[in-house]
Amino acid sequence: MTTKTEVTTDELDALRSEINGLDDELIRIWQRRAAVSKRIGEIRMANGGTRLVLDRERAILEKYRAALGEDGVQIAMLVLRAGRGPL
């Protein structure tokens, strides 16, 4: 017979393993998004445009805010900076 502690420990281990996998996926996605964003900036500048488009950045900030609340704005700022560098 398993005790509550054993079940909880097994569940905790499984959840930690899932978190590790999710973190790996977030890192992979973060790096891919940054690379795509940098490439977009290069193409835009090569065609005489600006490095960034403020309306686009505002839309991204709002998307994250709407989905995640005010913390989403902070996350979006980090995501944007990863792709374009600091202003």
Mean pLDDT by 10 residues, the chain (87 residues): 72 96 98 96 93 93 98 96 85
Domain hosting 29: range is: 9-84
Please identify which residue in the block is written with the tokens 């609340």.
69
- Identify the CATH number of the domain in which residue 20 sits: 1.20.59.10
Asked, for residue 67, whether it belongs to a domain, the answer is yes
Give the pLDDT of residue 82: 94
Please identify which residue in the block is written with the tokens 């973190």.
23
Give the pLDDT of residue 86: 74
Asked, for residue 71, whether it belongs to a domain, the answer is yes
**Packed helices 54-68 and 70-84: angle between N→C axes, nearest 10 degrees:** 140
Asked, for residue 1, whether it belongs to a domain, the answer is no
Asked, for residue 80, whether it belongs to a domain, the answer is yes
Asked, for residue 2, whether it belongs to a domain, the answer is no
Domain count, the chain: 1
Give the pLDDT of residue 52: 85
- What share of residues in the chain are helix, strand, coil (percent, to 5)? 85, 0, 15
Buried b / exposed e across 48-82, counting CB within 10 Å, b at 16+? Answer: eeeebeeeebeebbeebbeeeeeebeeebeebbee
Give the pLDDT of residue 85: 81
Asked, for residue 39, whether it belongs to a domain, the answer is yes
Residue 3 backbone dihedrals phi, psi, to 5 degrees: -90, 165
Give the pLDDT of residue 3: 62
Query: Structure pTM?
Result: 0.81
Asked, for residue 21, whether it belongs to a domain, the answer is yes
